[in-house]
Amino acid sequence: MLDVADLVTAYGKIEALKGVSLHVGKGQITCLLGPNGAGKTTLMMTIAGILKPRRGSIRLEGTELVGLSPARIVANGVALVPENRLVFPQMDVRENLLAGAYQRRDKREIAADVERMYARFPHLAERRDQLAGTLSGGEQQMLAVARALMSRPRLLLMDEPSLGLAPLVVAEIFRIIAELNRDGTSVFLVEQNAHMALQVAHHFYLVEQGRVTFDGSPGALAEDEVIQRAYLGTRRTGA
């Protein structure tokens, strides 16, 4: 689905990504783990076209995304649910969803998709005329996901969707991620909550200081001693 090769993104002289290569499988959920400052968000923003890489390539089913504008990347079928959600606070829920379909012109289908989002996220349906800035954190996260889905992405990027949310809401988010994946959307997920990620993801990468340091299946991840200590805590040994 997505092939990232030797990607370098820098802020001035500081390279946040120092040659990252990874693969997101079609129809799969791929999870990227890593400590704060490892370059996870930088990678997501680079794939989405917000940040320009210094070198390297990002291919979506063969199409080179590097050099395309964020709008073109959305039109190519990639949508990012950004870290901290970034809903449009002064616009109501419905307008947020419509903005998510900005690249589409099929008015009738857009209206039908808005209704589908209300069906999938009943909380949003109840709050459709409310300003997004007045929603709770969990509702804003749902809205951010729904807004991204409005572009009908083939690949959904999610940057720490569980950040700052209550456990029940986190479980709900992961249930939705699994559901979307079952419906055929490929997902590339950045997550600090490795326990939750282990339940849904098909493949894992670990990135540290701008480099990929682990690449493997959920089984291999759970076996890896270093990762166990850093990301899974003592729960496995304690249980």
Q: Applying CB under 8 A, which residues contact another protein? A: 48-50, 69-71, 74-75, 79-80, 82, 86-91, 95, 98-100, 102-103, 147-148, 150-151
For the bound state, the minimum distance from the C-beta of residue 79 to another protein, rounded and expressed in Å, comes to: 7
The H or E element spanning position 19 is: strand 14-24
For the bound state, the minimum distance from the C-beta of residue 82 to another protein, rounded and expressed in Å, comes to: 6
For the bound state, the minimum distance from the C-beta of residue 163 to another protein, rounded and expressed in Å, comes to: 16
| Exposure letters 145-182 (e unless 16+ CB within 10 A, then b) | bbbbbbbbbbbbbbbbbbbebeeebbebbbebbeebbe
Tell me if 127 sits within 8 A of 109, measured CB to CB.
no
Between residues 39 and 153, which has the closer beta carbon with respect to another protein? 153
Instruction: Please give the span between the terminal C-alpha atoms of the chain, in angstroms, as a whole number.
Output: 37
Three-class secondary structure of residue 59 per DSSP: strand
Between residues 72 and 211, which has the closer beta carbon with respect to another protein? 72
Between residues 53 and 100, which has the closer beta carbon with respect to another protein? 100
For the bound state, the minimum distance from the C-beta of residue 114 to another protein, rounded and expressed in Å, comes to: 13
Between residues 141 and 151, which has the closer beta carbon with respect to another protein? 151
Residue 218 half-sphere exposure toward CB, CA atoms < 13 A = 13
For the bound state, the minimum distance from the C-beta of residue 229 to another protein, rounded and expressed in Å, comes to: 35
Strands of the sheet with 211-216, listed across from one edge: 78-81, 155-159, 186-190, 29-33, 203-208, 211-216
Between residues 153 and 198, which has the closer beta carbon with respect to another protein? 153
